[in-house]
Amino acid sequence: MARTTEQSRRLQQRAEKLIPGGVNSPVRAFRSVGCDPLHIVRGEGSHIWDADGNQYVDYIGSWGPLILGHAAPAVIEAVIAAARNGTSFGASTPAEADLAELVISAFPHMQKVRFVSSGTEATMSAIRLARGYTQRKYIVKFEGCYHGHSDALLVKAGSGIATLGIPGSAGVPEEFTQFTLALPYNDVNAIERVFDKFKRQIACVIVEPVVGNMGCVPPSAGYLEALRVITKRDQSLLIFDEVMTGFRLAYGGAQELYGIEPDLTTMGKIIGGGLPVGAYGGPSEIMDLIAPLGPVYQAGTLSGNPLAMAAGYATLSYLREHKEIYAKLDTIAAEVVAGVAAAARSAGVTLCHNRVGSMFTWFFAKGPVSDWTSAAKSDTAAFGGFFRAMLENGIYLPPSQFEAAFLGAAHTKQDVDQTIAAAKHAFATVAA
Task: Note whether 247 and 209 are within 8 A (CB).
Answer: no
Residue partners of 393: CB distance under 8 A and separation at least 6:
418, 421, 422, 425, 426
Using CA atoms, how far apart are residues 235 and 94, in angstroms rounded to an integer?
Answer: 36
Q: How far is the CB of 343 from ligand KE4 (least distance, A)?
A: 26
User: Known catalytic residue: 377?
Assistant: no
Of the pair 117, 177, the CB lying nearest ligand KE4 is at: 117
Q: Which of 30, 56, 63, 360 binds ligand KE4 (CB under 6 A)?
A: 63
Q: Which of 118, 180, 186, 374 binds ligand KE4 (CB under 6 A)?
A: 118
Of the pair 144, 167, the CB lying nearest ligand KE4 is at: 144
Q: How far is the CB of 247 from ligand KE4 (least distance, A)?
A: 13
DSSP string, 193-221: HHHHHTTTTEEEEEE-SSB-BTB-BPPPT
Residues 197 to 256 in contact with ligand KE4, rule: CB under 6 A: 208, 212-213, 241, 243-244
Of the pair 25, 135, the CB lying nearest ligand KE4 is at: 25
Q: Which of 39, 128, 131, 147 binds ligand KE4 (CB under 6 A)?
A: 147
Q: How far is the CB of 142 from ligand KE4 (least distance, A)?
A: 11
Q: How far is the CB of 16 from ligand KE4 (least distance, A)?
A: 17
For the chain, helix, strand, coil in percent to 5 are 45, 20, 40
Using CA atoms, how far apart are residues 17 and 148, in angstroms rounded to an integer?
Answer: 26
Among the listed residues 50, 58, 234, 241, the single catalytic one is: 241
Among the listed residues 133, 269, 326, 379, the single catalytic one is: 269
User: Known catalytic residue: 36?
Assistant: no
Return the amino acid letter for 252: G
DSSP tally for the chain: helices H, then strands E: 14, 17
Would you call the peptide bond into 218 cis, given omega within 30 degrees of 0 as the criterion?
no
Of the pair 116, 420, the CB lying nearest ligand KE4 is at: 116
Using CA atoms, how far apart are residues 423 and 391, in angstroms rounded to an integer?
Answer: 10
Q: How far is the CB of 61 from ligand KE4 (least distance, A)?
A: 11
Residue partners of 61: CB distance under 8 A and separation at least 6:
67, 69, 70, 406, 407, 408
Q: Which of 1, 17, 18, 25 binds ligand KE4 (CB under 6 A)?
A: 25
Q: Which stretch binds ligand KE4 (CB under 6 A): 34-42, 144-152, 253-261, 384-392?
A: 144-152
Residues 273 to 312 in contact with ligand KE4, rule: CB under 6 A: 278
Size of the site for ligand KE4 (CB under 6 A): 19
Residues 385 to 424 in contact with ligand KE4, rule: CB under 6 A: 403
User: Known catalytic residue: 59?
Assistant: no
Residue 269, number of CB atoms within 10 A of its CB: 28
> Facing residues of 309 across strands?
none
Of the pair 218, 268, the CB lying nearest ligand KE4 is at: 268
Kindly tell me the burial class for residue 94, based on how many C-beta atoms sit within 10 Å of its own C-beta (0-12, 13-18, 19 or more): exposed
Q: Which stretch binds ligand KE4 (CB under 6 A): 30-38, 83-91, 140-148, 246-254?
A: 140-148
Asked whether position 263 contacts ligand KE4 by CB under 6 A, the answer is no
Of the pair 262, 278, the CB lying nearest ligand KE4 is at: 278
Q: How far is the CB of 400 from ligand KE4 (least distance, A)?
A: 8
Print the SS3 string covering 284-351: HHHHCCECCCCCECCCCCCCCCHHHHHHHHHHHHHHHHCCCHHHHHHHHHHHHHHHHHHHHHHHCCCC
Residues involved in catalysis: 146, 241, 269
Binding residues for ligand KE4, rule: CB under 6 A, are: 25, 27, 63, 118-120, 123, 146-148, 208, 212-213, 241, 243-244, 268, 278, 403
